[in-house]
Amino acid sequence: MNKETTLKKLFSVWPNSHATEATVLAYVEALADIPEKELLVVINQAIQNFEFLPTPVKLRGLYYGLATSISPENASRGWEHVRNAMRDPKTWTPEMMTAPKFSDPIVGRTVRAIGWQDIVTAENTPAMMTKFLQMYAQFANSAIAEERLTEQYKQLRGEKMQGLEQRENVAIIDSITSNIRQRLEVNK
């Protein structure tokens, strides 16, 4: 079964949608990055949940919900990994003061953002845990949002950001040049 056939199953459940070949192809393109086996699971779930034909956005929402609910580590488990690393002399010693590596990249990013030294020397462990859990959730949500972006969007955003950085650099150089000119005028 290919994606087109899989999607035709979706349209057959809502026959009043009058899906044309162009509609099917638009869905195929919009959902191209979702593996076919997982798309079938998402479509079966959509058939169970929706009264009307779901848009690609709705189908993606189901897919990302699936992806995040089977995440290898959630924030609580992430905090436990941090606590275990703090107790393990093989991964960390007070003399080293560098964070160990974590299998969950979001745990690693959260630890780097807070600061390993701040985590291990925290006097108020419940407050540090709360901070960790909140930051983990923020990083997890931003990772999910980033994952939802199409490659074309990411590429265009990168180009725009590069252009913005160049304009900011030009503005900084112009400002420095202006300051130098003013100082030279004053010193004359």
Res 71: pLDDT: 52
Q: What is the pTM of this model?
A: 0.49
Res 123: pLDDT: 92
Domains in the chain: boundaries? 3-69, 75-147, 150-187
> pLDDT (tens digit, 9 = 90+) per residue, 122-132?
999 899 999 99
The answer to whether 118 and 135 are in contact (CB under 8 A) is no
Q: Which two tokens stand for residue 72?
A: 């290898």
Alpha helix ranges (H) inside the chain = 3-13, 21-30, 36-49, 56-69, 75-87, 105-114, 116-120, 125-148, 151-187
Q: Give, for all 188 residues of the chain, the pLDDT tens digit.
A: 688 888 888 889 988 888 888 998 999 999 988 888 889 988 988 898 888 999 998 898 888 776 554 454 578 888 999 999 888 877 666 666 777 888 888 889 999 999 988 998 899 989 999 999 888 888 887 776 676 666 777 788 788 778 777 777 777 777 787 777 777 777 76
The answer to whether 97 and 117 are in contact (CB under 8 A) is yes
Q: Which two tokens stand for residue 92?
A: 């960390």
